[in-house]
Amino acid sequence: MARFASLVESLGNTPLVGLPSLSPTPDVRLWAKLEDHNPTGSIKDRAAIAMIEAAEKEGRLQPGSTILEPTSGNTGISLAMVARQRGYRLICVMPENTSIERRQLLEMYGAQIISSPAAGGSNQAVAVAKGLAAEHDDWVMLYQYGNPANAEAHYTGTGPEILADMPSITHFVAGLGTTGTLMGVSRYLREQKPGVQVIAAEPRYGELVYGLRNIDEGFIPELYDADLLDSRFSVGPDDAIHRTRQLVEREGIFAGISTGAILHAALGIADKEVAAGRRADIVFIVCDGGWKYLSTGAYAGTLEEASAALEGQLWA
Amino acid sequence: MAIQVRIPTILRTHTGGNKTVEGNGDTLAALVDDIDAQHPGIKGRLVTDEGKLHRFVNVYVNDEDVRFTGALDTAVKDGDSVTILPAVAGG
């Protein structure tokens, strides 16, 4: 059944597609879960809808309420769509070094954007949002980094969908941002199929993003539990862009740059499995499509030019 | 050959502004000691008095987070690339 009463209800049940060209051997296969097939085109729809519905249930949100959220883009876009449908006002605190398309989409959905400084990246957006929340008692900060409904959406949605479609899964690879996807899916897989390796791919940005503040002011999302991961990789822009382009050239999948970073980690694991002579079904997340990142320059020119263009931008 | 270590902006006060430094050692702990001998004070920014990595410091050997490979006991060798980064938010 592919008929839904409204857009929000069409959330999830995204396709899992094989990568016949990029999979190294018939025994070591890669599978892409196409989260760009969600209502606003990203995996963040799952967390956003879950967080809003949890807040409604708790009575924290009523029509006319103001939602405040620190976000580098996709969560804000998802929240903005639901907020517009349900009559909430949305204020997003967003680092100024995010792509223009993300800002345009937020504005189109009627969200208000408060910019936080580029230096310090999302850490600064979180700090600014926490400050605003303290000043405005009546604003509701859903706070994706610490809201259990974020991980829960993946525990009840993404995880079960993956295992149903790929019972022989051996590895799960996803991006590490709020950590919601990895925490929720891992918790589900560890209960249902212990032994599946859960691997995080973390974007490594240019220096500006890491800021000049003291290391003691670093940030780890409250949702994060390292025990739910088996390994964690840092992927720089060169590798992320290279893989993003490979994905579209070899498999026809036009994805955002963070997906390239995830694919890079997945292919690294695939090589190790081939070398070890093991069978593997490696499932990874396609977080969103490439549309919102065209202006970053990641898809045009040489890899060197594209990588230089991403310097200082929050590309994931 | 030696081990390349990439230093984040906020720790370059210890390396005379250099973005990368070189060191030696069989483990990450030994490498950090070697780097600290050349650039005094940097170890204290990375490792706590109890001998653990600081909570908000992430260290990667060939792009893999060392917290999943034995932390400071992680084996390193000539030609490896080590990256030090402060923990940041995503999303």
A168 and A297: one domain? yes
Q: For A209-251, how does the pLDDT look when each residue is reduced to its tens digit (9 = 90+)?
A: 787 667 777 889 999 999 999 999 999 999 999 999 999 999 9
Closest chain A residue to B7 measured between Cα atoms? A207
- Count of domains for chain A: 2
Instruction: Classify residue A309: in a domain, yes or no.
Output: no
Range in A80-94, A96-110, A118-132, A201-215 the model is least confident about? A201-215
Amino acid letter, residue B45? R
- Return the ∠ at Cα B69 (arms to A240 and B14), rounded to 5°: 75
Structure tokens at A38: 């969600």
A220 interfacial to chain B (CB closer than 8 Å): yes
Q: How far is CA A238 from CA A244, A284, A306, A308, in A?
A: 10, 19, 8, 9
Closest chain B residue to A223 measured between Cα atoms? B89
- In the predicted model, what is the mean pLDDT of residues B85-91? 80
CB contact under 8 A, A123 and B88: yes
Residue A77 has pLDDT above 60, yes or no: yes
Instruction: Classify residue A149: in a domain, yes or no.
Output: no
Closest-CA distance, B84 to chain A, in angstroms, reads 11
Structure tokens at A104: 């345009």
Domains and CATH numbers, chain B: 3-86 (3.10.20.30)
- How many other β-carbons are positioned within 10 Å of the β-carbon of residue A100? 11
Closest chain B residue to A227 measured between Cα atoms? B68
- In the predicted model, what is the mean pLDDT of residues A88-114? 94
User: Which phi and psi angles does A314 have, rounded to 5°?
Assistant: -90, 95
Torsion of CA A232, A310, A289, A71, to 10 degrees: 70
Residue span of the structural domain in which A73 resides: 44-141
Residue A298 near residue A308, CB atoms below 8 Å = no
A207 and A115: one domain? no
Residue A154 has pLDDT above 80, yes or no: yes
pLDDT attached to residue A98: 87
A257 and A163: one domain? yes
Instruction: Classify residue A213: in a domain, yes or no.
Output: yes
User: Which phi and psi angles does B27 have, rounded to 5°?
Assistant: -130, 165
Q: Which residues of A touch B57 (CB under 8 A)?
A: 215, 218
Q: Which residues of A touch B60 (CB under 8 A)?
A: 233-234
Q: A144-171: b or e for each residue (b if 16 or more CB lie within 10 Å)?
A: bbbbbbbbbbbbebbbbbbbebbeebbb
- In the predicted model, what is the mean pLDDT of residues A104-126? 91
Instruction: Classify residue A59: in a domain, yes or no.
Output: yes
Residue A185 has pLDDT above 90, yes or no: yes
Torsion of CA A132, A133, A134, A139, to 10 degrees: 120
A104 and A220: one domain? no
SS3 B70: coil
Q: Which residues of B touch A236 (CB under 8 A)?
A: 63
**What angle, 0 to 180 degrees and rounded to 10, lies between the N-to-C axes of helices A44-57 and A74-86?**
40
A227 interfacial to chain B (CB closer than 8 Å): no
A45 interfacial to chain B (CB closer than 8 Å): no
CB contact under 8 A, A231 and B85: no
pLDDT band at residue A122, thresholds of 50, 70 and 90?
A: confident
- Give the Cα separation of A147 and A154 in Å (integer): 12
Q: Which residues of B touch A127 (CB under 8 A)?
A: none
CB contact under 8 A, B88 and A212: no
Residue A187 near residue A151, CB atoms below 8 Å = yes
- Return the ∠ at Cα A139 (arms to A135 and A142), rounded to 5°: 115
- Give the Cα separation of A78 and A90 in Å (integer): 11
Q: Which residues of B touch A226 (CB under 8 A)?
A: 67-68
Of A169, A177, A294, A179, nearest in space to A244 by CA: A294
Residue A73 has pLDDT above 90, yes or no: no
A104 and A221: one domain? no
* Residues of A recognised as catalytic: 44, 258
Q: How far is CA A152 from CA A47, A174, A202, A239, in A?
A: 8, 16, 21, 31
pLDDT attached to residue A212: 65
Q: Which residues of B touch A216 (CB under 8 A)?
A: 54, 56
Instruction: Classify residue A248: in a domain, yes or no.
Output: yes
- Give the Cα separation of A266 and A273 in Å (integer): 11
Looking at residue A117, which CATH number applies to its domain?
3.40.50.1100
A136 and A169: one domain? no
A116 and A235: one domain? no
A289 and A165: one domain? yes
Nearest CB to A216; choose among B11, B56, B83: B56
User: Which phi and psi angles does A90 have, rounded to 5°?
Assistant: -125, 130
Residue A74 has pLDDT above 80, yes or no: yes
- Give the Cα separation of A209 and A96 in Å (integer): 11
Instruction: Classify residue A182: in a domain, yes or no.
Output: yes
A252 and A282: one domain? yes
A172 and A95: one domain? no
- In the predicted model, what is the mean pLDDT of residues A122-133? 92
- Give the Cα separation of A114 and A43 in Å (integer): 23
A121 interfacial to chain B (CB closer than 8 Å): yes
Instruction: Classify residue A2: in a domain, yes or no.
Output: no
Do the strands B64-65 and B57-61 form a parallel or antiparallel pair, or are they unpaired? Answer: antiparallel
A296 and A202: one domain? yes
Range in A136-145, A294-303, B16-25, B30-39 the model is least confident about? A294-303
Nearest CB to A234; choose among B9, B60, B69: B60
CB contact under 8 A, A213 and B10: yes
Instruction: Classify residue A147: in a domain, yes or no.
Output: no
- How many other β-carbons are positioned within 10 Å of the β-carbon of residue B74? 21
Closest-CA distance, A3 to chain B, in angstroms, reads 30
Residue A162 near residue A172, CB atoms below 8 Å = yes
- Give the Cα separation of A92 and A108 in Å (integer): 13
- In the predicted model, what is the mean pLDDT of residues A52-61? 97
Of A112, A141, A170, the residue at which a domain comes to its end is: A141
A242 and A282: one domain? yes
Residue B91 has pLDDT above 60, yes or no: no
Distance of alpha carbon A43 from its chain centroid, rounded?
6
CB contact under 8 A, B91 and A232: no
Rounded to a whole number of angstroms, the CA Rg of chain A reads 19
pTM: 0.96
- Give the Cα separation of A211 and A221 in Å (integer): 18
Mean residue pLDDT across chain B: 94
Q: How far is CA A103 from CA A71, A83, A120, A166, A229, in A?
A: 11, 16, 19, 36, 32
pLDDT band at residue A197, thresholds of 50, 70 and 90?
A: very high
pLDDT attached to residue A213: 67
Residue A165 has pLDDT above 90, yes or no: yes
CB contact under 8 A, A202 and B86: no
Residue A91 has pLDDT above 60, yes or no: yes
Torsion of CA B67, B72, B75, B81, to 10 degrees: 80
Mean residue pLDDT across chain A: 95
Residue A78 has pLDDT above 90, yes or no: yes
Closest-CA distance, B70 to chain A, in angstroms, reads 11
